[in-house]
Each structure stands twice: as C-alpha cells, then as structure tokens.
Amino acid sequence: MKSQKSSRVDLLEKKIQALIGVVQQLLDENAYLKDLAVGTLETIKQMPDYEEAIEKLKKQVTKESSKTEKTESLETISN
C-alpha cells in the first residue's frame, strides 16, 4: 500500500514540475514579447511622419466610437 501511495506522490511531483516548466516557459515568452513590442514601438517612433499617423489614428478612433455610440443609442430606443 505504501509503494502505491509513494508512486502516486512521485507522479504528482513530476506533473507539478512539468507544470512549473510550462509556466516558466510562458513567463519567458511573455517577457520576450514585451521586449519585442517595446522595441517595435520605439523603432516606429523614430520614423518620419509618426506624429501625423498618430493624429490620423486618433481621428479614426473618434469617428468609430461616435458611430458605435449612435448604434448603441438606436438599440436602446428600439428596446
């Protein structure tokens, strides 16, 4: 009976170690992606016309959000 319990404990320990390895891999990959995103952003900021592109995006987002608000208000009225 003890050997059965000990083998189960060993199996659980191996599974826990495997999960720890997976979580560590995910954390490492997340850190890599963060570094990549920050590096990409900093590179884009150095490009000419960056400020102009940001202003265009802001206007586009404003237009889209106003369309969404209109749609939502129409849905509220119809309900």
Domains in the chain, number: 2
pLDDT reported for residue 14: 97
Range of the domain at 54: 48-79
* 39 and 70 co-located in one domain: no
Do residues 10 and 22 share a domain? Answer: yes
pLDDT at 2: 66
Is residue 71 located within the same domain as residue 59? Answer: yes
Q: What is the structure's pLDDT at 67?
A: 80
Q: Is the pLDDT of residue 56 over 90?
A: yes
Tell me if the pTM is above 0.75.
Answer: no
Same domain for 55 and 39: no
What is the 3-class SS of the chain, one letter each residue?
CHHHHHHHHHHHHHHHHHHHHHHHHHHHHHHHHHHHHHHHHHHHHCCCCHHHHHHHHHHHHHHHHHHHHHHHHHHHHHC
Which stretch of 16-20, 39-43, 44-48, 74-78 has the lowest confidence by average pLDDT? 74-78
Indicate if 30 and 64 belong to the same structural domain.
no
Q: Is the pLDDT of residue 26 over 90?
A: yes
